[in-house]
Amino acid sequence: MNQLRYAFEDIVHNKSRSFVFFLQITLSLMLFSFMLTHSFDLQKLIKKITMTNEYKNAYLMFDISDMDKFFNETIYEDDVVERMDNFYLWLTENKHFKSYAFSYEDLILKDNRLDDSLVSFTYDLTGDKCYSGLICNEDFINFFDFRLSKGRLFNTGDYSDTSNIIPVIAGYDYSKYFNLGDVIDSEYRIIGFFEKDSRYYDIKACGDLLSLDKSIVMPFQREKALQHDNLGLYDSIINKTVIITEDERVLDDIQKKSSELGLYTYSFRSVEEQLGYIKESSGEWVLSLFTFCMIILFFCIIGMICNMLQMLNNYIRELGIHILCGASKFSIVIRLFYQVFFLTLLPNIIILFIHGFSSNLLISVLLSVLLSTLVILVPFIRLMKTDMNTILRRSE
Amino acid sequence: MMSIIKLENITKIYGKKDNEVRALSNVSLSIEKGEIVAVVGPSGSGKSTLLNIIGCIDSPTEGSYWLDNSLIKNSKQKDMARIRNERFGFVVQDFALVERYTVKKNVLIPLSYSSKKISKNRADELLERLGLSEKKNVLASDLSGGQRQRVAIARALINDPDIILADEPTGALDKNTGFEVMKILTELNEEGKTIIVVTHNSRVAEMCSRVITIEDGMIRNT
Ligand SMILES: Nc1ncnc2c1ncn2[C@@H]1O[C@H](COP(=O)(O)OP(=O)(O)OP(=O)(O)O)[C@@H](O)[C@H]1O
Ligand SMILES: [Mg+2]
């Protein structure tokens, strides 16, 4: 208790030093919590950067065939869906390169459990509410390495299922309104929910990672599509296929195969090329901001340590006197610690008064304890290493 | 008679291998309870070192030290601090007062580290006795040298220790004030305190019942 009293007196006696320390610690805490709340963006960015790496050898297929011919002739040919299926299989099960494929489907759903926050858009004319659906193959799921908060991923049976009820994995936001096993609009049975903020790339559309939180993800059921002559679905899923290969000759083979089947004429573009211009504009600032924060934080902490060391120097005579009167070095350290601890706690008390109790406060308090320990460490070692005789001699 | 302090072959070496300083070598001595002893010797001979070891501020490199027949090992800091606090009162040349504290607050410092139950009124009594009653709420920085040394003595006495260690208590004072301070110390000795005074001043040494001379870290036989 005596040390606590001395510590308070020290703080009051060194008003300006304490104030500087208070500012430093407040700034550090603010930076820390800022970084903490934005670490999410950082994770996103890191994921994006690693993704970009994985995309080093990825190619997109842009159909440059004559649209008139395609819509006026090709689609009316008897076996076009079979040929598309053939092409799809050749693309996705090829041993010479990897790929993944997906496509979008706007789902008009009528189910009173559906919350308006899930709606992606509303048709002006009919007032029908549309929900975003995504159809994908197994490689898509594997490529983005999705994690679920509940349930399971698709199995082989789900992809080959031809029944009327489609197994789906719903975005995280759906888990607030539905349970596993629920059937939405008597058609989509939920077998799993993605983790919050599960993301994927649609590089053809944009350079950002897209969230699945409000999406319903369906397996691409090839056999069913074939049975139903679903030409549109084949067309879009084939053209959204991303090819991953280190060997560019593969692209020629793809073109050859497509021509052979009388389907598309392609222009291939590498993902790097596609991302190139997008990359500069987005995300990068988060990294700079973090680096900037880290630098300031670093100097704050160094500043606080210097502050402590300086005060140890100014105080050494007085501390020596206390040691002469029966203080142990340990009680001196405790006294220093109380000072740091109090000044570190002060911003938290202010937060408490302004915002009340919250989990942020708890984190901030934990950070405070961490910071004060860090800051006290150097002076502590310094004090413990100087022998008493030296402390007293310096005080003479 | 029982020795209150007994040193046997005490050696103190400062510093590391290459530039070590032998501040004390093979010092043996004993001091009886109630003695007043002067320690004299040239500068750098090891007088303060000896006092620091006796006062549990420093530990010897070699040798044994018995305080009241119990061996002081180079033991825990905490124990050393307790002994320093309860058994010894220190008076030093530069007074070692906290300038920004009042006189009374300075006198009370040892109590904040003490487990002894001592009333704060004792500070008033001691200050009264040393003629400082009027000064008790004055800042230490506003006192004269003689007054400061008397405050230091009051502080040395607050915990009622049985040994007073004084390292050149008169060094920073003029002749008369120095003499007054020594008078206080001899009075305390008459009341039963064991007192060890390090000094350069032969007049001061003469006021003690025994003089120990140190040269080059060794006791010179007289
Ligand atoms: N912490 C230390 N580190 C290194 N050397 C030291 C240390 N303390 C004392 N010494 C050395 O030990 C020797 C004895 O020092 P000490 O202070 O005991 O002398 P002294 O007799 O008290 O001198 P003075 O009369 O000047 O006060 C000196 O040579 C001094 O330089
Ligand atoms: Mg000395």
**pLDDT(A45) > 80:** no
Q: In the Cβ-directed half-sphere of A87, how many Cα atoms lie within 13 Å?
A: 28
Instruction: Tell me the CA–centroid distance for residue B92 and ligand 2, in Å.
Output: 9
Structure tokens at B72: 């002081």
Judge whether B146 and B173 are in contact, CB under 8 Å.
yes
pLDDT at A70: 77
Which H/E stretch holds residue A63? strand A58-63
pLDDT for A48 equals 66
By CB atoms closer than 10 A (0-12, 13-18, 19+), residue B125 is middle
Taking only the tens place, the pLDDT of each residue in A70-98 is 778 777 888 889 999 999 999 999 999 99
CA-to-CA distance for A256 and A266, rounded, in angstroms? Answer: 10
Instruction: Return d(Cα B128, Cα B135) in angstroms, integer.
Output: 10
Confirm or reject: Cβ of B19 under 6 Å from ligand 1. Answer: no
Ligand 1 within 6 A of CB of B93: no
Task: Report the range of poorest mean pLDDT among A72-76, A91-95, A118-122, A243-247.
Answer: A72-76
Residue B1 banded pLDDT, cuts 50, 70, 90: low
Label residue B17 by pLDDT band (50, 70, 90): confident
| Bridge partner residues of B21 (DSSP) | B14
Residue of B98, B141, B155, B159 to mutate, testing the A interface (most A Cβ within 10 Å of its Cβ): B98
A195: pLDDT strictly greater than 70: yes
Q: What is the pLDDT of residues A126-153, one digit of tens each?
A: 889 999 999 999 999 988 889 999 999 9
Whether the CB-CB separation of B10 and B22 falls below 8 Å is answered with no
Give the residue from A161, A166, A156 showing the smallest Cα distance to A187: A166
What b/e readout covers A278-300, taking b as 16+ CB neighbours within 10 angstroms?
A: eeeeebeebeeebeebeeebeeb
The span from the CA of B116 to the CA of A197, in Å, is 64
Which pLDDT belongs to residue A280? 54
Among B77, B93, B105, the strongest candidate for a mutation testing the A interface, having the largest count of A CBs within 10 A, is: B77
In chain A, where the domains are located: 2-41+277-394
Using a CB-CB distance cutoff of 8 angstroms, which residues of chain A are in contact with residue B112? 2, 5-6
Does the distance separating the beta carbons of B110 and A321 come in below 8 Å? Answer: no
Residue A347 has pLDDT above 80, yes or no: yes
Cβ proximity of B163 and B4 under 8 Å: yes
Three-class secondary structure of residue A386 per DSSP: coil
Q: Which two tokens stand for residue B216?
A: 């080059």
Q: Dihedral of CA B142/B147/B148/B153: which sign?
A: negative
Point out which residues pair with A267 in neighbouring strands.
Answer: A62
Interface test with B, best of A323, A325, A389, A393 (most B CBs within 10 A): A325
Degrees, nearest 5: CA angle B30-B84-B220: 30
Distance CA A321, CA B128 (A): 23
User: Residue A278: which pLDDT band, with cuts at 50, 70 and 90?
Assistant: low
Residue B94 Cβ inside 6 Å of ligand 1? The answer reads: no
How close is the nearest chain B Cα to the Cα of A1, in Å? Answer: 9
Among A149, A194, A201, which Cα is nearest to A44's? A201
Nearest-angstrom CA–CA distance, A181 and A173: 16
Q: How far apart are CA A141 and CA A145, in angstroms?
A: 6
Residue B140: its pLDDT value, please?
92
Distance between CA atoms of residues B176 and B173, nearest Å: 8
Query: How many Cβ atoms are within 10 Å of A187's Cβ, its own excluded?
Result: 13
Query: What is chain A's mean pLDDT, rounded?
Result: 86
* pTM over the 0.90 mark: no
Residue A193 carries which DSSP code? E
Kindly tell me if the per-residue pLDDT of A300 is higher than 80: yes
Contact B47 CB / ligand 1 (< 6 Å):
yes
Which pair of tokens denotes residue B167?
């390292």
Residue B52 CB–ligand 1 contact under 6 Å: no
A324 to B92: CB separation less than 8 angstroms, yes or no: yes
Residues of A with CB under 8 A from a CB of B: 2, 5-6, 13, 318, 320-331, 387-389, 392, 395-396
**Cβ atoms of A75 and A65 closer than 8 Å:** no
Q: How many CA atoms lie within 13 A of B178 on its CB side?
A: 21
Measure the CA–CA gap between A109 and A132, rounded to whole angstroms: 10
Instruction: Give the pLDDT of residue A284.
Output: 67
**Which stretches within A263-358 are classed as H helix?**
271-281, 284-324, 329-355
Q: What percent of chain A shows pLDDT beyond 70?
A: 93
CA distance A178 to A189: 10
Going by pLDDT thresholds of 50, 70 and 90, the confidence category of residue A277 is low
Angle in degrees, CA A287, A291, A292, rounded to 5? 115
Q: What is the SS3 assignment for A147?
A: coil
Instruction: Give the residue, by CA position, lying nearest to ligand 1 atom 22.
Output: B48
Token look-up 């000044």 returns: A343
> Which residues does A169 contact at the CB level (< 8 Å), separation at least 6?
A146, A148, A151, A153, A154, A190, A191, A192, A193, A194, A216, A217
Helix residue spans in A93-230 (DSSP H): 138-144, 156-160, 222-227
Write the residue in B94, B96, B113 that is nearest to A326 by C-beta: B113
Inter-chain residue contact A325 with B155, CB threshold 8 Å: yes
- Domains of chain B in start order, with CATH, are 33-59+80-221 (3.40.50.300)
SS3 sequence of chain B = CCEEEEEEEEEEEECCHHHCEEEEEEEEEEEECCCEEEEECCCCCCHHHHHHHHCCCCCCCEEEEEECCEECCCCCHHHHHHHHHHHEEEEECCCCCCCCCEHHHHHHHHHHHCCCCCCCHHHHHHHHHCCCHHHCCCEHHHCCHHHHHHHHHHHHHCCCCCEEEEECCCCCCCHHHHHHHHHHHHHHHHCCCEEEEECCCHHHHHCCCEEEEEECCEEECC
Residue in the block written with tokens 């230091």 = B152
Alpha-carbon distances of A249 from A90, A100, A139, rounded to whole Å: 16, 19, 22
Asked if the Cβ–Cβ distance from B96 to A322 is below 8 Å, we say no
Ligand 1, closest atom to CA B214?
Answer: 21
Angle at CA of residue A228, ends A223 and A230, nearest 5°: 90
Q: Which residue pairs from A225-231 have beta carbons closer than 8 angstroms and sit at least 24 positions apart in sequence?
A: A225/A85, A226/A81, A226/A82, A226/A85, A227/A162, A229/A81, A230/A81, A231/A75, A231/A80, A231/A81, A231/A84
**Measuring CA to CA, which residue among B59, B54, B78 is closest to residue B14?**
B59
Is the confidence at residue B65, as pLDDT, over 70?
yes
